[in-house]
């Protein structure tokens, strides 16, 4: 693809802290390379802001390889921007044209309060995992993983669900701020494997319970989450969660 430089107008959400009133600020960036990543473009803007003695834009980032789930942002109304199956850090500036105006907002949901500018608090996800997104293992020698036979389709589906990086784009994309895609992926990848089977009934009940406590909305199956998920997690997992949850609520021993 032909390399080109572009000048852009950015409308960025600035908010001093959790309780402050936020608002949009407009910035101009010049000579942005089409080969930069979106975050590098913001790095350029931040360097300029620091040089001018201003406050750089706070945003989350870590691996910048699309695997850690730290970066966020809603770019022109799309969590992680316009590309399908891509995190913000892997979104490249060739997705934009010279002279464009880009609106950059934080993930918005009451369960993800803004800490500063584009950084939101996603600890609610950690607490859902703590509630049941694990398996209990006895201490001692690790069992040889290959000793447990697993159906190939189950292994594939489990792996596909496990590719969820917990970024929260599903919540940001959902009109109800529902975390069902995230929770269903975490429930599914364990429920499909023999190692996860012993606790599957308690796990789904505890995780859904915690999800509700955190104040996420209910799923109304608009499937915007699936469309925006950078790891393309399928809504098949949500149906599996519903099945598991229903089965767990009929489990008389729990």
Binding site for another protein (CB under 8 A): 11, 22, 24, 74, 76-78, 103, 105, 108-111, 114, 173, 175-178, 215-224, 227-228, 235-236, 238-246
Query: 143 or 239: whose CB is closer to another protein?
Result: 239
Contact 146, 162 (CB under 8 A): no
Residue 9 CA to residue 28 CA, distance in Å, equals 5
Residue 60 CA to residue 68 CA, distance in Å, equals 11
Nearest distance from C-beta of residue 146 to another protein, angstroms? 27
Q: How many CB atoms lie within 10 A of CB 28?
A: 10
Contact 106, 119 (CB under 8 A): yes
Query: 95 or 103: whose CB is closer to another protein?
Result: 103
H or E, element range at 62: none
Nearest distance from C-beta of residue 229 to another protein, angstroms? 10
Nearest distance from C-beta of residue 220 to another protein, angstroms? 7
Ramachandran bin of 168, using left for φ above 0, alpha for ψ from -120 to 50, beta for the remaining angles: left
Residue 167 CA to residue 120 CA, distance in Å, equals 11
Query: 89 or 187: whose CB is closer to another protein?
Result: 187
Chain centroid offset of residue 131 CA: 19
Query: 30 or 97: whose CB is closer to another protein?
Result: 97
Chain centroid offset of residue 163 CA: 11
Nearest distance from C-beta of residue 84 to another protein, angstroms? 10
Nearest distance from C-beta of residue 38 to another protein, angstroms? 16
Beta strands in 15-100 (DSSP E): 23-33, 74-75, 78-79
Q: In angstroms, what is the C-alpha Rg of the chain? A: 20
Query: 45 or 173: whose CB is closer to another protein?
Result: 173
Query: 35 or 77: whose CB is closer to another protein?
Result: 77
Nearest distance from C-beta of residue 244 to another protein, angstroms? 8
């Amino acid at each position: 693809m032909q390399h080109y430089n572009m000048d852009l107008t950015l409308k960025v959400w600035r908010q001093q802290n959790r309780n402050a009133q936020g608002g949009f600020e407009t910035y101009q960036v010049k000579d942005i390379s089409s080969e930069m990543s979106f975050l590098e473009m913001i790095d350029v803007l931040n360097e300029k802001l620091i040089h001018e003695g201003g406050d750089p834009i706070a945003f989350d980032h870590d691996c910048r390889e699309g695997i850690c789930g730290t970066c966020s942002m809603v770019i022109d109304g799309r969590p992680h921007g316009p590309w399908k199956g891509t995190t913000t850090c892997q979104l490249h500036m060739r997705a934009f044209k010279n002279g464009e105006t880009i609106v950059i907002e934080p993930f918005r949901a009451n369960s993800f309060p803004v800490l500063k500018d584009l950084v939101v608090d996603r600890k609610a996800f950690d607490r859902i995992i703590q509630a049941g997104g694990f398996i209990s293992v006895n201490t001692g020698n690790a069992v040889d993983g290959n000793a447990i036979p697993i159906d190939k389709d189950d292994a594939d589906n489990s792996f596909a669900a496990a590719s969820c990086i917990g970024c929260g784009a599903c919540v940001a994309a959902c009109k109800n701020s529902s975390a069902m895609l995230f929770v269903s992926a975490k429930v599914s990848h364990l429920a499909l494997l023999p190692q996860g089977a012993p606790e599957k009934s308690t796990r789904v009940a505890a995780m859904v319970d915690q999800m509700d406590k955190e104040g996420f909305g209910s799923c109304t199956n608009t499937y915007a989450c699936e469309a925006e998920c950078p790891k393309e997690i399928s809504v098949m997992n949500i149906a599996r969660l519903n099945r598991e949850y229903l089965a767990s609520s009929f489990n008389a021993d729990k």
